């Protein structure tokens, strides 16, 4: 039970999201604040880790080894979970040693870091990549980059339950769909599995089309054996992953000032701007109620120099 998160399932608050462009269109949005689940651990990356941690526990591991970049929300959540739940963590990092706010946190949380360079990191999908690491850390369980795959998606099914139990606080008896940012589509896939076609899930793509989100989501849905699924992927990348532009930054600043919810420009800001564009294009009927998932990522924005 060393790694098991069984006794620690944080509740994300569900709050009304008040913005004039929603009100004008007669659309109501509630925001599920995954950025507020815990002072240390934040965002969808925690939910994506749950099933991986259970598997690590079943395997009798003492801890977890995984990989990511110098601003990685995934490694941040993993290191924080290791600190909180008391298990060992090792992070394999892309590129050459650099000090970012994220890296400083990883070190403070006690994660052991190894920098792989760029070539070394690119080899992560090659057969045999894990062998030397498994030899060096025989008691650790390896979790893929970003905590993806079916295991990652299954942990995100919990989000539907978290919304269901809080709906009545808003005076809602139901909702019409979900809206969230997608990187790999794992979190969206978890919601699609949880909904099984009951409510549609709209994914705002933070990455361009060639990142293969659609086939990845389809593969998870197929692997889970789901018969009926309802989801749609909408381009929201604005020219590329992590590309920011003045329109986006101004939108984020205005939205933060109006609704008081902090956003970052890679995922949540782009997802909300894409929602505004769809709302203004008349995509949703008057009276539509949507759940917007705040997927977190605020720790990563400290490292973005262009973000003022």
Ligand X SMILES: *Cc1c(COP(=O)(O)O)cnc(C)c1O
Among the listed ranges 15-23, 50-58, 181-189, 221-229, the one in contact with ligand X (CB under 6 A) is 181-189
The phi and psi torsions of 185 (rounded to 5 degrees) equal 90, 5
The whole-angstrom separation of Cα 28 and Cα 118 is: 44
Residue 47 makes contact with ligand X by CB under 6 A: no
Residue 73 makes contact with ligand X by CB under 6 A: yes
Q: Which is nearer to ligand X, 76 or 199 (CB)?
A: 76
Q: Which is nearer to ligand X, 61 or 263 (CB)?
A: 263
Answer for the pair 59, 6: CB distance below 8 angstroms, yes or no. Answer: no
The whole-angstrom separation of Cα 211 and Cα 89 is: 28
The phi and psi torsions of 182 (rounded to 5 degrees) equal -120, 135
Among 267, 269, 279, 292, binds ligand X (CB under 6 A): 267
Among 53, 182, 191, 259, binds ligand X (CB under 6 A): 182
Residue 187 makes contact with ligand X by CB under 6 A: yes
Residue 69 makes contact with ligand X by CB under 6 A: no
Q: Which residues make Cβ contacts (< 8 Å) with residue 108, sequence separation at least 6?
A: none
Residue 36 makes contact with ligand X by CB under 6 A: no
Taking the complex as a whole, the smallest distance from the CB of residue 45 to ligand X amounts, in Å, to 6
Among 66, 102, 162, 184, binds ligand X (CB under 6 A): 184
Q: Which of 175, 161, 267, 156 is nearest to 217 (CA)?
A: 156
Residue 68 makes contact with ligand X by CB under 6 A: no
Residue 201 makes contact with ligand X by CB under 6 A: no
How many residues bind ligand X (CB under 6 A)? The answer is 18
Q: Which residues make Cβ contacts (< 8 Å) with residue 252, sequence separation at least 6?
A: 263, 264, 265, 269, 272, 273
Taking the complex as a whole, the smallest distance from the CB of residue 1 to ligand X amounts, in Å, to 27
Q: Could you list the beta-strand ranges (E) of 137-221.
A: 140-142, 177-182, 201-205
- Catalog residues that contact ligand X under the rule CB under 6 A: 43-45, 73, 146, 181-188, 267-268, 295-297
């Amino acid at each position: 039970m060393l790694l098991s998160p069984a006794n620690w399932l944080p509740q994300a608050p569900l709050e009304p999201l008040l913005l004039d462009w929603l009100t004008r269109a007669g659309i109501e949005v509630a925001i599920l604040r995954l950025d507020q689940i815990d002072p240390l651990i934040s965002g969808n990356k925690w939910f994506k880790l749950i099933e991986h941690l259970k598997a690590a526990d079943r395997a009798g591991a003492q801890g977890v080894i995984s990989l990511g970049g110098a601003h990685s929300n995934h490694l941040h959540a993993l290191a924080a979970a290791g600190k909180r739940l008391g298990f060992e963590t090792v992070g394999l990092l892309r590129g050459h040693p650099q000090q970012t706010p994220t890296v400083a946190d990883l070190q403070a949380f006690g994660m052991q870091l190894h920098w792989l360079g760029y070539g070394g990191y690119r080899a992560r999908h090659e057969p045999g990549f894990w062998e030397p690491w498994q030899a060096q850390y025989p008691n650790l369980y390896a979790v893929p980059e970003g905590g993806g795959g079916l295991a990652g998606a299954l942990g995100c099914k919990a989000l539907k339950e978290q919304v269901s139990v809080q709906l009545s606080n808003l005076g809602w008896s139901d909702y019409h769909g979900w809206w969230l940012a997608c990187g790999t589509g794992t979190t969206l896939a978890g919601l699609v599995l949880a909904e099984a076609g009951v409510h549609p899930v709209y994914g705002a793509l933070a990455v361009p089309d060639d990142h293969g989100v659609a086939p990845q989501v389809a593969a998870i849905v197929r692997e889970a054996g789901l018969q009926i699924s309802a989801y749609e992927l909408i381009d929201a990348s604005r020219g590329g992953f992590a590309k920011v532009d003045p329109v986006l930054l101004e939108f984020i600043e205005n939205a933060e000032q109006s609704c008081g919810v902090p956003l970052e420009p890679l995922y949540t800001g782009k997802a909300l701007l894409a929602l505004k564009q769809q709302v203004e294009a008349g995509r949703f009927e008057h009276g539509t109620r949507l759940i917007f998932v705040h997927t977190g990522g605020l720790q990563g924005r400290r490292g973005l120099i262009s973000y003022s």
